Amino acid sequence: MIEIRNLSHQYGKIKALQNINLKIEAGKITSFLGPNGSGKSTLFKILATLLKPTSGEIHFFQTALLKDPHTIRRSIGVVFQSPSLDKKLTVFENMIHQGHLYGLSGTALSQKVKVLLEEFGVAQRQSSVVETLSGGLKRRVEIAKALLHDPKVLLFDEPGAGLDPGVRQDIWRFMKKLQREKQVTCLVTTHLMDEADQSDDVAILDEGHLIAYDTPYTLKQEIGGDVVHFTSTNLNLLKQNVEQTFKYPCEILGGELRLEIAHGEDVLPQLVKAFPTLIETAKLSKPTLEDVFMKRTGHGLRGERT
Ligand code: ADP
Ligand code: MG
């Protein structure tokens, strides 16, 4: 288990993390979901022992992170948001270098590299210079590299950033496989709710605060009903009208008007009928983690303030 207690971090006057308390179960995939600037990378760097927090404590299993970062470093694999491969070296050379950093060498190391490259589907490209690989392949090599020393915990900053959905799916499949077959605990930061949705637990961050922590299912359950999204030529007018006529609290978010209705409520046709010229499109959907985020913070995940 990983336990974070009263963790805070400030960069000068900027409060990047404010009194975070979390207990993360071993063997789970936990996402830290939050918009830009919510403190995800700061938390990631602290967990990776690269940044000393202003205050608080972290325990990885029985080891205190701040007292014994060396032990922690041996048990974690880290995949950074920005590429950490040497792009002028081949895939194989990058892997071997990483192995040397962890005191591995000889045939044991090259054997291990082969197995990992095979597992991540990059074995055929092992002699390619890294800069010739696509973004998705590079990401696979990054993960393979992070796993060379058999870490118990994998830290992953924004796995999906800059990758197209298919590649993102691949990365998540790999993570789930690691979890299933090697019981690796994965801690993942993301600003994408569809990624967070695939994890076992989600810790939602906003402006350095932990605002929710539970399974995606439980968090979405709290919304209760369904969510309606409208697009309109005049969102503000539509909002006023809906609020006045139907007494639904609405919010404008990401170019849409959004309101919650109870399950099974047949209100959508009535609304569309009531404002035929104002409503361009209407969409009824199940609540998402974005709805959870909005409910708790009053603003959207994508950074808009209403
Ligand atoms: P996220 O990864 O969620 O986008 P960060 O942890 O990078 O968030 O940033 C949290 C806050 O701390 C932001 O306000 C950011 O501007 C600030 N911040 C991050 N890194 C530094 C730094 N090295 N120096 C000063 N402020 C920083
Ligand atoms: Mg970040």
Q: Give me the CATH number covering residue 54.
A: 3.40.50.300
The pair of structure tokens assigned to 198 is 């695939």
Could you tell me if 85 and 233 lie in one domain? no
160 and 85 inside one domain: yes
Whether residues 123 and 269 fall in one domain: no
Mean pLDDT of all residues in 144-152: 94
Q: For residue 54, which ligand has an atom nearest its CA?
A: 1
- Work out the burial of residue 101: count CB atoms within 10 Å of its CB; fewer than 13 is exposed, 13-18 middle, 19 or more buried: exposed
Q: How far is the CA of 21 from the centre of ligand 2 (A)?
A: 20
Percent of the chain with pLDDT over 90: 76
Structurally, how many domains does the chain consist of? 2
Measured from the CA of 34, which atom of ligand 1 is nearest? 3
Per-residue confidence (pLDDT) for residue 88, from 0 to 100: 96
Does residue 263 or residue 11 have the better pLDDT?
Answer: 11
Here the tokens at position 127 are 């002699």
Token readout for 37 is 């600037």
164 domain-assigned: yes
Residue 303's pLDDT band, with cuts at 50, 70 and 90, is low
Phi, psi of 27 (to 5 degrees): 80, 5
**Domain identity same for 244 and 96:** no
Domain range for 101 is 2-215
Tell me the C-alpha distance between 83 and 162, whole Å. 11
Q: Span 10-34, mean pLDDT?
A: 97
The answer on 184 and 62 residing in a single domain is: yes
Residue 296 is assigned to a structural domain of this protein: no
> Does residue 35 line the site of ligand 1, with CB under 6 A?
no
pLDDT recorded at residue 306: 40
Confidence (pLDDT) at 130: 96
Please write the tens of the pLDDT for every residue from 150-199.
999 999 999 888 888 888 899 999 999 999 999 999 999 999 999 999 99
Element (H, E) at 189: strand 185-190
The whole model's pTM is what?
0.89
Q: List the one residue out of 284, 285, 295, 283 whose CA is nearest residue 222.
A: 295
Note whether 198 and 229 are same-domain residues. no
Write out pLDDT tens, residues 264-290.
778 888 999 999 999 999 999 889 998
Q: In terms of domains, do 178 and 276 share one? A: no
Residues 262 and 235 in one domain: yes
Per-residue pLDDT at 111:
96
With a CB cutoff of 8 Å and minimum separation 6, the contacts of 115 are none
* Residues 246 and 182 reside in one and the same domain: no
Structure-token pair, residue 268: 């959508």
* 213-247: pLDDT as tens digits: 999 999 999 888 889 999 999 999 999 999 999 88
| Same structural domain, 247 and 187 | no
Q: How far is the CA of 113 from the centre of ligand 1 (A)?
A: 34
Same domain for 120 and 202? yes
